[in-house]
Amino acid sequence: MEKVDCATYIIAEPQGSQYNVNFLIAGNERAVLFDTGLGEASLYHLVDSLTNVPVTVVFSHFHFDHVGNTQEFDQHAFIDLEYLHERADAGGNFEFTFQEVLASSPSEVVVNEWWGDGQAIDLGERTISLWNIPGHTPESVAIVDSDRKYFFAGDFMYNGTLYAFLPGNDLPAYEASTERIIQELGSEYTYFGAHSSPRVEFNKFETLIDLFACIEDGSCTPTAFNAFGYPVSSYSLNGLTIWTEPQ
């Protein structure tokens, strides 16, 4: 665990199999836990020791390594996307698909709140918002703290190979989301990713735009192989690598 400031904590799992990084973002009245890890290690007691206010879980996206430990927390907020809302019943019960969870994790959560894209969420003397940033997956979200200038990017961007070859990936959407981040937030923000060492340099987003252009115009030569049973084309530029579906 590392303190970013007196109310923002990096909860890394360096011993975990995916080297996940979760974040606790607290206000005076409520806190958000951004991702609950793999479920390999309990998070509840650590989170409970860090804050006295009620905690709401927000998942950066629905991959198994971000939605573990769901049984430990009972408040969940999802971004208000129509197709997600339709997957929940009237009581907010939301079932993950087989591809979204590991067999060992509970497959259902109750969604207590639906937050719109960009909607201001008051945590008490601290306001955040969720952005839908499709690309890695359609439902991917980031947390934006515009006062402290923090951006929590989930698996959209981190220090490591970016994945855009799994079901739900969308390169044009990935590019549009990257443009939004560059144009609306820029280099003044501190960026945090959900794996590996948490702080990410802003210029990685700019390199990603160059990498998309290079994929589109065919000037980058991919390496082809299979990963987890999926065909992959690996593209690299200036130290940034992305695995895509064969283009």
Please pick, from the candidates 155, 177, 202, 243, the single residue that binds Zn ion as defined by CB under 5 A. Answer: 155
DSSP letters, 172-234, are: HHHHHHHHHHHHHTGGGSEEE-SBSSSEE-THHHHHHHHHHHHHHTT-SPPEEEEETTEEEEE
Q: Which stretch binds Zn ion (CB under 5 A): 86-94, 99-107, 147-155, 225-233?
A: 147-155
Minimum distance of Zn ion from residue 219's CB (angstroms):
29
By CB under 5 A, the residues from 197 to 226 that bind Zn ion are none
Minimum distance of Zn ion from residue 33's CB (angstroms):
16
**Contact flag: residue 65 with Zn ion (CB under 5 A):** yes
Binding mask 81-120 for Zn ion (x = CB under 5 A): ----------------------------------------
Minimum distance of Zn ion from residue 127's CB (angstroms):
27
Residue 125: CB atoms within 10 Å? 10
**Contact flag: residue 72 with Zn ion (CB under 5 A):** no
Q: Which residues contact 159 (CB under 8 A, 6 or more apart)?
A: 193, 195, 196, 197, 200
CB nearer to Zn ion: pick between 145 and 155:
155
Q: What's at 121, amino acid-wise?
A: I
**Contact flag: residue 35 with Zn ion (CB under 5 A):** no
Q: How far apart are CA 16 and CA 4, in angstroms?
A: 21
Minimum distance of Zn ion from residue 18's CB (angstroms):
6
181, 151 contact by CB (below 8 A)? yes
CB nearer to Zn ion: pick between 65 and 175:
65
Residue 87: CB atoms within 10 Å? 16
Q: How far apart are CA 162 and CA 34, in angstroms?
A: 19
* Residue 156, token pair as written in the block: 């959209």
Residue 160: CB atoms within 10 Å? 16
Q: Which stretch binds Zn ion (CB under 5 A): 21-29, 35-43, 58-66, 168-176?
A: 58-66
Minimum distance of Zn ion from residue 221's CB (angstroms):
27
Minimum distance of Zn ion from residue 17's CB (angstroms):
11
Point out which residues bind Zn ion (CB under 5 A): 65, 155
